[in-house]
Amino acid sequence: MLTLEKFEEAADVVKQVTLETKLVFSDYLSQQTGNKVYLKPENMQFTGAYKVRGSYYKISTLSDEEREKGLITASAGNHAQGVAYAAKCFGAKAVIVMPMTTPLMKVNRTKSYGAEVILYGDVYDEACQKAYDLAQEYGYTFIHPFDDLAVATGQGTIAMEIFKELPLVEYILVPIGGGGLAAGVSTLAKLLNPKIKVIGVEPAGANCMQESIKKGNVITLPKVNTIADGTAVKTPGSNIFPYVQKNIDEIITIEDDELIVTFLDMVENHKMIAENSGLLTIAALKKLNVKNKKIVSIISGGNMDVITMSSIVQHGLILRDRIFTVSVLLPDKPGELSRVADVIAKEQGNVIRLEHNQFVSTNRNAAVELRITLEAFGTEHKKQIMNALEKKEYLPKLVRTSL
């Protein structure tokens, strides 16, 4: 079903609703990895993600009768916006079931395209079952977010664009949630160049495809736990599974902490906002054991709400030792706070919060605790400040930072 002819047809169709997301060469990531790294910024699409490709192509293949029944889907956000926008283009009603945990921005954007949004369940799989129930009850036409060959064909058009810009591409990194994007991209990539390597990337806390490939058949994870909400899927698609099994060369998993620091990298070095699922392929670059290769990382989306963004920035600064908290003991007498502040100032540390605990010891004259939260330039600067405090015999101890 996933044929070159169908991919070419889909490529012509999706041009009607997609923006041209040209490859971006990354000097920073190329230097970091020893490869030539290009980004495919699907976070720059009108709906903020690649999903509109598969949604629009799938809906274009439906009959007028199927569209007139109304369309329904389940999604953590990006497919929701894709279906809502595509349905609006075709003048069809769209009902979207989204998990209760979906970021507010994705919910509001989906509503803005005229879709009816129903919040249900904690994860995608629960929302999906609700959507199936509603489809049966009201006769809606169900548009699956990933386990549909027409949807996967639409998503695969990304590979067509990559090859047109970079014909000698050697590696493509693609994020995996349910597997639709990976199936489409890997299948078309192998059709165009059987020697190319296509690497799938999953969150470590939601690696349903990796586990399914190990077992040789589709399995369901007992639970998922990841900040990459767009790829928080328990069960991969059974229809697309054979294509992923055949065409994906390797699957890499990424921990949440790796996504957090990768977000900072993208903001600071590329001035680009990508959501956690979109960052998977960037984080995976450091885990590839290759050099001097032409690599494309697909950034699948950029729909992140401001509250999540703020939290990730703060945690990222802590993980990078740009913010840390140190506990020091000092006598409870005038001038001691000033002396500690002077030590920190001489090392160019910037104090952002102080907590004074007089009750750490029964002998206040001997010692009270001062917890200082600081900004630093990184790990080496942090060590420099700690050493300076030790030399002044303040007995500094690192403690968990709470922002």
Query: Which DSSP letter does residue 49 get?
Result: B
Give the pLDDT band of residue 329 (cuts 50, 70, 90): confident
* Mean pLDDT along residues 32-52: 95
pLDDT band at 207 (very low <50, low <70, confident <90, very high): very high
Q: 4 pLDDT exceeds 90?
A: yes
333 confidence band (pLDDT: 50, 70, 90) = confident
In this prediction, residue 363 carries a pLDDT of: 58
pLDDT of residue 102: 82
**Cβ-contact 202, 280 below 8 angstroms:** yes
Q: What's the pLDDT score for residue 321?
A: 93
Amino acid 336: pLDDT: 85
pLDDT at 43: 95
Quote the radius of gyration of the chain (alpha carbons, Å): 25
Mean pLDDT over each residue of the chain, to the nearest integer:
93
Answer whether residue 9 shows pLDDT above 70: yes
**Residue 304, pLDDT score:** 85
Task: Report strand pairing: 36-41 vs 197-203.
Answer: unpaired
CA distances from 92 to 36, 71, 136 (A): 43, 7, 18
CA distance 65 to 62: 8
Q: Is a pLDDT exceeding 70 seen at residue 358? A: no
Q: What is the mean pLDDT of residues 290-310?
A: 92
pLDDT at 362: 54
- Residue 197 pLDDT class (50, 70, 90 cuts): very high
Percentage of the chain with pLDDT > 70?
A: 98
Strand pairing class (171-175; 294-299): parallel
Over residues 202-212, mean pLDDT: 97
pLDDT at 243 over 60: yes
- When pLDDT is cut at 50, 70 and 90, the band that residue 366 belongs to is low
End-to-end CA distance of the chain: 52
Does position 364 have pLDDT exceeding 60, yes or no? no
Tell me the three state secondary structure of residue 290. Answer: coil
DSSP strands (E only) in 205-293 = 250-254
Q: Where are the beta strands (DSSP E) in 256-357?
A: 294-299, 323-330, 350-357
Q: Give residue 30's pLDDT.
A: 97
Q: Pick left, alpha or beta for residue 372 (phi over 0 → left; psi -120 to 50 → alpha; otherwise beta).
A: beta
| Residue 372 scores a pLDDT above 80 | yes
165 in the Ramachandran plot: left (φ > 0), alpha (ψ -120 to 50) or beta? alpha
**What is the mean pLDDT of the segment spanning 254-263?**
95
Closest CA to 194 of 237, 163, 220: 163
pLDDT of residue 365: 57
- Whole-structure pTM value: 0.88
Q: What is the pLDDT of residues 149-187, one digit of tens each?
A: 999 999 999 999 999 999 999 999 999 999 999 999 999
Span 241-252, average pLDDT: 97
Mean pLDDT calculated for residue range 19-46:
96
Domains of the chain: 4-49+149-316 (3.40.50.1100), 52-142 (3.40.50.1100), 321-399 (3.30.70.260)
**β-strands 323-330, 350-357 pairing:** unpaired
Q: Which of 74-83, 164-173, 374-383 has the lowest mean pLDDT?
A: 74-83
Give the pLDDT confidence score for residue 359 in this predicted structure: 64
- Distance CA(327)–CA(330), nearest Å, equals 10
